[in-house]
Amino acid sequence: MLTFKEKMGSIYLMDKDTEEIRYEVTEPAVLLDTTFFALLKIGNRDIVMSYYEESIAKCKIGQTDLFESWVVMDLPKDAEVLDKILNNVGYLESFYQKVIESLPKGE
């Protein structure tokens, strides 16, 4: 199982059991499906965006519109929040709703 942890002022994606570091997270982002609130990819923004673009291209080849409900969202640089999004079912939906509610309302 993977987890996000802060060590020496940086945030890392790590194996929870072995504490093996996978990579440092410098610009956290998530790709999610807003219909089902499924987490599709989480990590550094450049990795998430690359995955998003590749996935859209594959969907277009397959002539599907699944990607229309996908959103890339920047995340706070907070290991606890990142870990909750990754490992707690339902947290992503509530986090997303809070972000949407905090946006300025249109007139």
pLDDT tens for 28-87 read: 999 999 999 999 999 999 999 999 999 999 999 999 988 999 999 999 999 999 999 999
What pTM did the predictor assign?
0.89
68: Cα separation from own chain's centroid: 17
Q: Is the pLDDT of residue 106 over 90?
A: no
Residue 41 inside a domain? The answer is: yes
Residue 62 inside a domain? The answer is: yes
Q: Is the pLDDT of residue 107 over 70?
A: no
In terms of residue numbers, what domain contains 43?
26-84
Q: How far apart are CA 60 and CA 32, in angstroms?
A: 18
Residue found by looking up tokens 């610009």 in the block: 27
64: left (phi over 0), alpha (psi -120 to 50) or beta: beta
Check residue 88 and report its DSSP letter: S
Instruction: Give the pairing of strands 2-7 and 70-74.
Output: unpaired
Check residue 66 and report its DSSP letter: G
Q: How confident is the model at residue 105 (pLDDT cuts 50, 70, 90)?
A: confident
What's the domain count of the chain?
1
What would you measure as the largest C-alpha separation in the chain, in angstroms? 52
Question: pLDDT value at position 89?
Answer: 87
Residue 80 inside a domain? The answer is: yes
Residue 78 inside a domain? The answer is: yes
Q: Greater confidence, 89 or 28?
A: 28
